[in-house]
Every structure is written in structure tokens, then in C-alpha cells.
Amino acid sequence: MTPKQRMMKIMAGEPVDVMPVELLAGTEFMCRHSGVSTLEFFYDPDARAESKAQAHVDFLERFHPDGLCLWARGAPKHWRKRYKYEACGEQAFMVDTQTGNRWPMSDDHYAVFMDELPDPGPFHFERGEVDVIVNGKHPLEPADSVIERGMYEVIRTMARKCGDSQYIEAGGLGTMFRFAMGIIGFPDGYIFMREKPDVFKYLLERLTEQNIEYAKAFKALGADGVHTADFWTDGDLISPDDWMQFVFPYTQELIRQLRRIGLHVKYYFVGNVRPRLQTLRDLEFDSLQMEQTCGVDLSEVREILGPDVCLHTNLDAVYLMDHGTPAEIEAALARQVEAAGGSHRLICSVGGEITANTPPENIDALIAAAHRYPA
């Protein structure tokens, strides 16, 4: 059974041979172990999709998980045409080829220290554009334009390189509340939600429509599934009533549309999920993953959601994977399998990213331990 078959079958409720393993590898880890620089991974305008895909492929060939969530999004073509990234020794710069302006990047090449913001171009939801978006002046971008602009070429490249045998899961398609908060700002979005609830809901509707177009592009480019993350909606941040008004209906509609398109949906909940468990049963996702840091017991999740929901383990990415021994990793997985009622309808996962400090032998130990369980 190929890794792709194993992932798709377990999410569909069909029998598989062993417990699958699905991971999200941090960019620093992949770059360090593949030889692809972080600058090249994120910004190289000439080989970015190939470089980013190669880092993913190297991870797959080294560790052989059944699924790997892709860092799928990149800069569109018009941005890459205008802005170039230069490395001068250990220092990197972003350069505007039209004006000649140069801005230094942080040591890890994640942040650019700019005194002005570049033009994002068309079809780009920017912070502060709420009035433009909700008044309909901000056009939604159709899937064919998303593909043409080249933001998700790494999906196409990965599908070409290993899509016959490997499950292609695209990351970056979050829930609508997360995107709305990103546009309005945090914590201003919570205030906006309270003071202008109708406008906030309309913003959520338009964001839902836009992200469905992104998902159509994912499918056309070769993705099998999507990683859909829910941020800032947990029981410690918003009330049950606000959850049912501003989060649940839009997440439910997004997931339904993703599945109609033909994509498998992994729903990743960040934060305290306990107050949401009863309503999660109605979201119709294919699998549920939870953040590692909130002490969620899989036995409680299994009891509420039932035996037929596909769950992910949420092993600790830092204290266990970075600092634990292979024996401790195997024991932690055994505890979670027992809590989930067995390895049936269970995918072995880490509750966060594989970090740059994770010893490779710990990943080997995790995958070997998972593959000893029948599913």
C-alpha cells in the first residue's frame, strides 16, 4: 500500500495495513537537512518552486512518512519579477528592481526591515482594507487567475515529482475567522466583531468565497488534501455564542465546499478545543488534529466525537521530539493510542512543527513505532 493510498483510505474510513504518519516539518529543519537555504526556499525568483519542492522531497525520501503538509504558498509572479533577493555573505536584502531600494532582512531571512510597503498588486487582501472588501470594490480572484499568478507552483511541482505515490496536502488554507482577524488586526478584530457584527459576517462570507477559489486551484494543481487551521477561536478567547455566530457556519461551509471539490480536509484546531468538541461533530472534516500545548486528552475527544472520526495524535513537538529519547517517544505514542481506543481511525502526528532542533533519529523512532501498529 502506498503512503497516498494509506492516507486517503484511513480518512475515508477504509481499512489500511498500518497506522499512517503525517507530519508538518518546520522550514528550518527541512532546509538544514536538504541543503536548500532558507533564502532560496522562500524567495529565490528563479528556482523557488523547485527549491521548495526539493526540500520537501528530500524530507520524504529520508524519513518516509505517509503524509507531509506542504509549505505551499509563495510570492506571485508579478512580485517575483519586481523584487529580487540578494545574499551578501551572511546578510540578505530585498531589492526593488524598479526603484533600486534595498532593505535588509533578518538573520533568519524571515523579516524584512522596510521603511515603505511594496505594492501587493491585485487580488490581495491587505490589513486595513475592510471597507474596500465588504463594499464589493475588491474583486474576488477566480481559480484560473490564482494558478496563472503562480503563488502555489510548489503544489504542481510536488504533484509532478511524487504525486502518484505520495499524499499531497497543501497548507495555508486557514479558517475565515483567522483571515478576518489578519485583515482587521489583533485584537482590533474582536472589537470590530462586537461593534459591527453584520459587516464582520459579510467579510467572513467574502473570505469564504475567495478561499474556495484557492481550493479549486489547489485541486487543479494536484493536491489531494488541505491543512485547514483554526486560530483565535478557542474557548479561552471567544464565547460559545460568538463561536456559533462568527466561526462555525463559515468553517462548516468552507469544509463542505472543499470536500465537494474533491479535497480531503484535515481540520487543525489551535487552542483550548474542549468547549468546541460537541459542535465539531457537525463540521464534516476528514480528520481532526489538535494543538499539543493545551493538555487535550484523546480519550475525551474520542468519547465525545465517537469511534468513527479520524483523529491525529498530538505528540509534543518540543519537549518530546526535541529532547526525548526514542524509547520515550514510543511510550508517549502508546499512551495516545490507548487513549484513542486503539489505532483504528488514528493518524500518528505531532501537535506542532518538527523544529530545527529535532534529532533525525527521533523522527525515525516515531515513524517506526507508528508503523508497528495495525490500523
Average pLDDT over all residues of the chain:
88
3-state SS class at 338: helix
DSSP letters along 55-83, please? HHHHHHHHH--SEEEE------HHHHHHE
* Number of other CB atoms surrounding residue 55 within 10 Å: 25
Whether 81 shows a pLDDT value over 90: the answer reads no
- Residue-level pLDDT at 116: 66
- Residue-level pLDDT at 131: 57
Complete edge-to-edge strand list for the sheet that includes strand 102-104: 83-88, 91-96, 102-104
- Cβ-proximal residues to 335 (8 Å cutoff; 6+ apart), any chain: none
- Residue-level pLDDT at 95: 86
Q: What is the pLDDT of residues 64-76, one digit of tens each?
A: 999 999 998 877 7
- Residue-level pLDDT at 132: 53
- Cβ-proximal residues to 363 (8 Å cutoff; 6+ apart), any chain: 23, 63, 321, 354
Asked if 316 and 366 touch (Cβ cutoff 8 Å), the reply is no
Whether 127 shows a pLDDT value over 70: the answer reads no
Q: What percent of the chain has pLDDT over 70?
A: 90
* 103 or 358, greater pLDDT: 358
- The number of CA neighbours under 13 Å toward the Cβ of 114 is 12
- Residue-level pLDDT at 86: 81
- Residue-level pLDDT at 302: 95
Query: How confident is residue 125, by pLDDT bands cut at 50, 70 and 90?
Result: very low
**How big is the CA angle at 314 (ends 159 and 366), to the nearest 5 degrees?**
70
Asked if 234 and 272 touch (Cβ cutoff 8 Å), the reply is yes
Q: Report how far apart, in Å, the C-alpha atoms of 1 and of each of 7, 13, 287, 347 are.
A: 10, 15, 20, 16
Place of cell 481506543: 341
Which residue from 266, 172, 283, 188 is spatially nearest to 232, judged by alpha carbons? 188
Q: What percent of the chain has pLDDT over 90?
A: 59
At residue 354, φ and ψ (nearest 5 deg) are: -70, 120
3-state SS class at 36: coil
Q: What is the pLDDT of residues 201-249, one digit of tens each?
A: 988 998 899 899 999 999 999 999 999 999 899 888 999 999 999 999 9
Q: What is the pLDDT of residues 135-156, one digit of tens each?
A: 655 667 889 988 998 889 999 9
Which amino acid, residue 328? Answer: E
Max mean pLDDT among 23-32, 108-117, 127-136 falls in 23-32
Asked if 270 and 257 touch (Cβ cutoff 8 Å), the reply is no
Average pLDDT for residues 102-112, to the nearest whole number?
Answer: 74
Q: What is the pLDDT of residues 249-294, one digit of tens each?
A: 999 999 999 999 999 999 999 988 888 999 998 999 999 999 876 7
